Chains A and B, each alone.
Chain A
Amino acid sequence: MTLLADLILMPLVAFVVGLLLVLMARRVRAKIERRVGPPFLQPVYDIVKLYAKKTQVSHGVMHDLAIMMLLGGFITAEIFLPVPGLDGLAEHGDLITLVYIMMVPMLGLALGVGSCANPNGSIGISRALTAMLAYDVPYVVVIVGACISYGTTNLIDIVQIQQQGGPATWGAATMPILAFAGLLATHGMLGKEPFEIYIAPAEIATGPMTEMSGKYMGALFVMQCFQLYTVGVLYTTMFLGGGENWLFFLPKVFAVIFISVAVTNVYGRYKTDDVIRWMWKWPTGIALVGLALVMVR
Chain B
Amino acid sequence: MIINEHDPRAGKIYQVVDEHAKVRAGAVLPSDDLLKQFYRDMMRVRAIDDKAFKLQRQGRMHTFPQITGHEAIQIAAAYAMQEEDWLAPSYREEALVHLRGVPYSQILLFWLGNEKGSAYPKDVNVLPFSIPIASHMLHAVGIGWGAKMCGEKIAVVTTFGDGATSEGEFHEAMNFAGVFKAPVVFLCTNNQWAISVCRKDQSASKTLAEKAFGYGFDGICVDGLDVVAMHQVMQEACDKARNGGGPTMIEAVTYRLCDHTTADDASIYQDVDERKAWEQKDGVRRLRKLLEKRGLWSASDDEALEKEVQTFIDQTIRELEASPEVTPDEIFSTTFADMPPRLKKQLEDVKAS
Same complex: no
B interface, CB within 8 angstroms of A: none
A interface, CB within 8 angstroms of B: none
